[in-house]
Amino acid sequence: MRRKWWFVSSLTLCLCGIFMFIHTQAASTQAEKVAIIAHRGASGYEPEHTMQSYLAAVQQKADYIELDLHMSKDQQLVAIHDYKVDRTTNGTGYVKQYTVKQLQRLNAGKGNKKAVIPTLEEIFRTFGNRTNYYIETKSPHEYPGMEKELLTLMAKYNIHTNHVIVQSFSPESLKTVHRYRPTMKLIQLIRSKQTNMLTDQQFRQIKTYANGIGPNANTLTKPYVQKARSYDLDVHPYTVNDEKQMRMLIEWGVTGMFTNYPDRLYNVLHNK
């Protein structure tokens, strides 16, 4: 009787060990597939959308540096999040009211830091294919031709398509990119109020031109992630700065995350 009890106990412990090993290996494999997307660069440490922020993101081993694009008065693509310069610089007014020279006279730093608003051309010239870019076309209806200008600059600096992801809230903008560059990876941004409201028909429609979705992390649910993944769509939630939330989203099956702190996500993914 004791031998039988010992055998059953040993077998149970062995099976538990195997299960834990498999679970750990699966979790590790999943973590390796999660892209670190530096939200406006390493914006938790440096002024957002500045060369300092992008350099810090690369140093912190981000997989992608995120760029929000607007167009200047002289039709150049510049990296800045807001339509106006008020929040992030010492200037006032709309980005499209300034030429690049005028924009770059403004201080985009914080406190005593000095920084300028970079053009996309300067960013490509600086980093080339040594990093990856996650580019949002902001309000493309305000800037006709911005998608074509983006692709022109990619060609000029020989930026490979596999180094770039383009995202937008505008399906039309993504479809324009898709028409010119069918192999470009595209992400359909989802507004916060719509995060868990996409229907099967909408998922199928997105799949015709995009490779994934970008939902708000704070309104995301596990069943929704699983549903998106069932359509073979990537899920890249924004913006995740808390390590506990990072671990939860990894367990849910997301394939990338926007974060102001790339080093935090790197440490979570590598169990540091």
Confirm whether 21 is domain-assigned.
no
When the pLDDT of each residue in the chain is averaged and rounded to a whole number, the result is 91
Q: Which of 11-15, 54-58, 105-109 has the lowest mean pLDDT?
A: 11-15
Q: Are strands 77-79 and 64-71 parallel, antiparallel or unpaired?
A: antiparallel
pLDDT at 201: 96
**Side-chain half-sphere of 248: how many Cα atoms within 13 Å?**
13
Q: Which of 2-16, 42-56, 91-105 has the lowest mean pLDDT?
A: 2-16
CATH number, domain containing residue 198: 3.20.20.190
Instruction: Select which of 39, 49, 70, 236 is catalytic.
Output: 39
Confirm whether 22 is domain-assigned.
no
Burial class of 157 by CB neighbour count within 10 A (0 to 12, 13 to 18, 19+):
middle
What is the rounded distance in angstroms from the CA atom of residue 244 to the CA atom of residue 185?
Answer: 29
Q: Judge whether 224 and 195 are in contact, CB under 8 Å.
A: yes
Looking at the structure of the chain, the number of domains it has is 1
Confirm whether 30 is domain-assigned.
no
Q: Are strands 164-168 and 256-259 parallel, antiparallel or unpaired?
A: unpaired
Q: Is the bond leading into 239 cis (omega within 30 degrees of zero)?
A: yes
pTM over 0.85: yes
Confirm whether 2 is domain-assigned.
no
**Cα–Cα separations (whole angstroms), residue 68 to 19, 55, 98, 159, 242:** 44, 16, 17, 17, 23
Q: Is 236 a catalytic residue?
A: no
Q: What angle do CA 147, 161, 201 make, to 5 degrees?
A: 70
pLDDT at 2: 54
Confirm whether 9 is domain-assigned.
no
Terminal alpha carbon distance of the chain: 46
For 2, left (φ over 0), alpha (ψ -120 to 50), or beta? Answer: alpha
Question: Confidence band (pLDDT; 50, 70, 90) for 272?
Answer: confident
pLDDT at 164: 98
Domain, as residue range, for 163: 35-271
Instruction: Select which of 70, 81, 178, 236 is catalytic.
Output: 81
What is the rounded distance in angstroms from the CA atom of residue 137 to the CA atom of residue 251?
Answer: 30
pLDDT at 145: 95
Confirm whether 13 is domain-assigned.
no
Q: What is the mean pLDDT of residues 184-209?
A: 93
State pLDDT tens for residues 119-130. Answer: 999 999 999 999
Confirm whether 193 is domain-assigned.
yes
The residues facing 69 across adjacent strands are 79, 137
**Dihedral sign from CA coordinates of 19, 20, 22, 26:** positive
The residues facing 187 across adjacent strands are 167, 212
Question: Confidence band (pLDDT; 50, 70, 90) for 110?
Answer: confident
Q: Is residue 29 pLDDT above 70, yes or no? A: no
Question: Confidence band (pLDDT; 50, 70, 90) for 267?
Answer: very high
DSSP state, residue 214: E
pLDDT at 6: 53
Q: Is 141 a catalytic residue?
A: no
Confirm whether 4 is domain-assigned.
no
Query: What long-range pairs does 94-97 form, CB within 8 A, spacing at least 24?
Result: 95/70, 95/71, 96/70, 96/71, 96/72, 96/142, 96/143, 97/73
